[in-house]
């Protein structure tokens, strides 16, 4: 089985396994106690903190260990906002942040705060100017991921940090995806990360708060981890997390070159072997191991099952794989195709032959799914004035787009097709289809049920 979902959780690094087993024997005692076993546990904890701080590029007393990366994000945002409550309650986030950041922003807004969401381009990247424009006198905190978890695009963190610093606003960086590859550049103020993203054990996160940043921990007081992460430290997990971070960093430079070549191979060859594919994300400023593409006329969930049967574990941002039947917020913010979406994220050490086998299997898997969906019950079409109306109500992705593709050639150039759909994904996928096919997306109109998406044939 080829595991291609390292962006969700990387396989446990051998060094992490060794450190975990060793610390189960040596680090079980309370590191706050003064007897021998406690002192031994404290030495392990201090050594792990020093190693993690060195990898981050911060002081050891600026870093605390949390129970997860999500917990680090929530604690970091809440503490920074509380520490600057006299300045105001305005929070800035990008539209493509991890859900943990967006959920924290929603909670802040529900509690009476205000939130500005920064838009991205079709590559998934923000601009420093957009953060500069969003800053206000009452801005308490800004957040920006170092690299995107779905498409791999790297963000201009250093430039945004400089803009925020000029206005005296702290910047929190979610470095979960990138920290294993290297430290985050720039004069950021807070940083969060998660050990299972770089091959450490799950249940360990990092929260860094630079000296001089106003920060007030939320929740009941606790003496552990400088009061910023309540509860008994998961010492074996912490030791394994720090050891694996140091280990992957030692391998990162050489492995990055190798994985970039493999992902570039996927980026180039998938569109050559599979028709109607959009490769998304920045082609150059990206993490080494992530490549994402979307396939027209494909049910994402069905495609993932087909690839699983062929021995490949991949993930998807397609609405067809979501229990809410809504497309990924990242793909939606980018304005790219979401249907038939596949994210390949290669773990360190991925064999070249696994990638080659994936490239051989994928065309047949996509063709098989398209064949299954190629002859659905035809949607009702009627003439309404000079427009062709396609009734795709009740049909989920990718059926509305398939039906649009079937009839676009039946209307004269310059005339329109109105697609009636109550699937949220159509709001993203129909404009994306027009972009790929050189047709004009006129816009969305209200309808008795769902919405009408108007497309003009131009070629």
Segment 349-373, tens digit of pLDDT: 999 999 999 999 999 999 999 988 8
Q: Does the pLDDT of residue 31 top 80, yes or no?
A: yes
Please give the average per-residue pLDDT across 418-440, as a whole number: 90
Residue 442's pLDDT band, with cuts at 50, 70 and 90, is very high
Q: Which two tokens stand for residue 420?
A: 């009636």
CA atoms within 13 A on the CB side of 78: 17
Percentage of the chain modeled with pLDDT above 70: 95
- 144-200 residue pLDDT tens: 999 999 999 999 999 999 999 999 999 999 999 999 999 999 999 999 999 999 999
Catalytic residue chosen out of the listed positions 143, 295, 320, 434 = 320
Active site residue 320: yes
Percentage of the chain modeled with pLDDT above 90: 77
- Return all residues near 243 (Cβ < 8 A) that are at least 6 apart: 15, 16, 18, 19, 48, 51
Q: Does the pLDDT of residue 379 top 80, yes or no?
A: no
- 248-266 residue pLDDT tens: 999 999 999 999 999 999 9
The predicted pLDDT at position 319 comes to: 52
* CA 450 vs CA 238, 445, 455: distances in Å: 50, 10, 16
Please give the average per-residue pLDDT across 443-452, as a whole number: 89
Structural contact between residues 56 and 208, judged by C-beta atoms closer than 8 angstroms: yes
Q: Which of 22-26, 318-322, 347-351 has the highest mean pLDDT?
A: 347-351
* CA 349 vs CA 11, 233, 254, 343, 354: distances in Å: 10, 31, 11, 18, 11
Structural contact between residues 236 and 24, judged by C-beta atoms closer than 8 angstroms: yes
Please give the average per-residue pLDDT across 86-110, as a whole number: 97
The pTM (predicted TM-score) of the whole model is: 0.87
Q: Does the pLDDT of residue 286 top 80, yes or no?
A: yes
Q: Which two tokens stand for residue 282?
A: 């920045």
Q: Does the pLDDT of residue 377 top 50, yes or no?
A: no
> According to DSSP H, which parts of 111-234 are helical?
128-134, 157-166
* CA 407 vs CA 262, 375, 387, 416, 430: distances in Å: 39, 13, 11, 11, 14
Give the integer Cα–Cα distance in Å for 199 and 208. Answer: 20
The predicted pLDDT at position 376 comes to: 38
* ω into 18 cis (within 30 of 0): no
Using alpha carbons, select from 350, 323, 344, 347 the residue that is nearest to residue 424: 323
Using alpha carbons, select from 294, 274, 276, 268 the residue that is nearest to residue 365: 274
Stated as kind and residue range, the H or E segment containing 209 is strand 205-209
Dihedral Cα 429, 431, 434, 435, nearest 10 deg: -100
Please give the average per-residue pLDDT across 16-40, as a whole number: 93
Please give the average per-residue pLDDT across 437-446, as a whole number: 92
The predicted pLDDT at position 231 comes to: 86
* CA 272 vs CA 266, 269, 275, 363: distances in Å: 10, 5, 7, 10
């Amino acid at each position: 089985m080829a595991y291609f979902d390292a962006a969700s959780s990387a396989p446990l690094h051998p060094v992490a396994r060794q450190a975990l087993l060793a610390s189960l024997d040596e680090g079980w005692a309370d590191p706050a106690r003064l007897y021998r076993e406690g002192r031994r546990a404290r030495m392990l904890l201090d050594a792990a903190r020093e190693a993690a701080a060195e990898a981050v590029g911060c002081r050891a007393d600026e870093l605390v260990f949390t129970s997860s990366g999500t917990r680090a994000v929530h604690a970091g945002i809440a503490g920074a906002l509380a520490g600057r409550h006299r300045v105001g309650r305005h929070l800035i986030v990008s539209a493509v942040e991890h859900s943990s950041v967006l959920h924290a922003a929603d909670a802040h807004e529900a509690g009476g705060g205000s939130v500005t969401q920064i838009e991205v381009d079709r590559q998934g990247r923000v601009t420093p100017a957009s953060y500069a424009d969003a800053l206000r006198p009452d801005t308490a905190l800004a957040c920006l991921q170092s690299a995107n978890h779905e498409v791999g695009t790297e963000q201009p963190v250093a430039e945004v940090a400089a803009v925020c610093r000029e206005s005296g606003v702290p910047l929190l960086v979610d470095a979960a995806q990138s920290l294993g590859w290297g430290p985050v550049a720039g004069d950021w103020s807070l940083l969060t990360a998660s050990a299972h993203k770089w091959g450490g054990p799950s249940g360990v996160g990092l929260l860094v708060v630079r000296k001089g940043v106003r920060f007030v921990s939320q929740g009941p007081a606790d003496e552990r981890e400088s009061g910023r992460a309540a509860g008994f430290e998961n010492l074996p997990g912490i030791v394994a997390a720090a050891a694996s971070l140091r280990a992957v960093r030692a391998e990162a430079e050489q492995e990055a070159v190798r994985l970039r070549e493999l992902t570039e191979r996927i980026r180039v060859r998938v569109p050559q072997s599979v028709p109607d594919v959009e490769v998304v994300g920045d082609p150059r400023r990206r993490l080494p191991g992530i490549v994402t593409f979307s396939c027209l006329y494909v049910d994402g969930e069905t495609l993932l099952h087909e690839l699983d049967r062929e021995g490949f574990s991949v993930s998807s941002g397609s609405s067809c794989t979501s229990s809410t039947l809504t497309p990924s917020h990242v793909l939606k913010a980018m304005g790219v195709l979401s249907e038939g979406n596949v994210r390949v994220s290669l773990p360190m050490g991925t064999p070249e032959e696994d990638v080659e086998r994936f490239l051989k299997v994928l065309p047949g898997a996509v063709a098989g799914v398209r064949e299954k969906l190629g002859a659905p019950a035809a949607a009702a079409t009627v003439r309404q004035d000079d427009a062709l109306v396609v009734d795709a109500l009740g049909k989920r992705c990718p059926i509305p787009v398939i039906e649009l593709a079937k009839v676009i050639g039946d209307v004269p150039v310059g005339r329109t097709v109105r697609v009636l759909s109550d699937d949220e994904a159509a709001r993203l996928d129909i404009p994306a289809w027009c972009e790929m096919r050189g047709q004009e997306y006129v816009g969305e109109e209200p309808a008795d049920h769902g919405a009408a998406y108007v497309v003009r044939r131009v070629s």
